[in-house]
Amino acid sequence: MNTLFILNDAPYGTERSYNGLRLARALGRLDGEKVRVFLMGDAVACAKAGQKVPEGYYNAGDMVRMVGGEVALCGTCMDARGYADEDVVPNARRSTLKELAEWTAAADKVLVF
């Protein structure tokens, strides 16, 4: 099964992106599952390198690195927030709306958070 997760919310303040990343990681561990995650809008901050969070609090950047599948960020959304390619964690990369459209067409399931 090929599942696409589209995350829109900021990494902190709500738990939507947190729960989307948790589910993507859990699903990606199952045999026969292919997971892709596309971060748009404020969700591009999930992949920001160098996040410092309070002790005991989850780190969205660490979660992005552990997804286990492809992670792409909306390049326009990155630019609007002042993020450069080198500002994102390993396992994440700049992408385009065209690639999101291709991933959506290829997916068996699309989950939007």
pLDDT value of residue 61: 96
Q: Left, alpha or beta for 78 (phi > 0: left; psi -120 to 50: alpha)?
A: alpha
Asked whether the beta carbons of 94 and 60 are under 8 A apart, the reply is: no
**pLDDT of amino acid 42:** 98
Per-residue pLDDT, 76? 98
Instruction: Dump pLDDT digits (tens) for 7-34.
Output: 999 999 999 999 999 999 999 999 999 9
**How many Cα atoms are found within 13 Å in the side-chain-facing hemisphere of 100?**
20
* Interatomic CA distance for residues 65 and 39, integer angstroms: 13
Cα–chain center distance at 92: 8
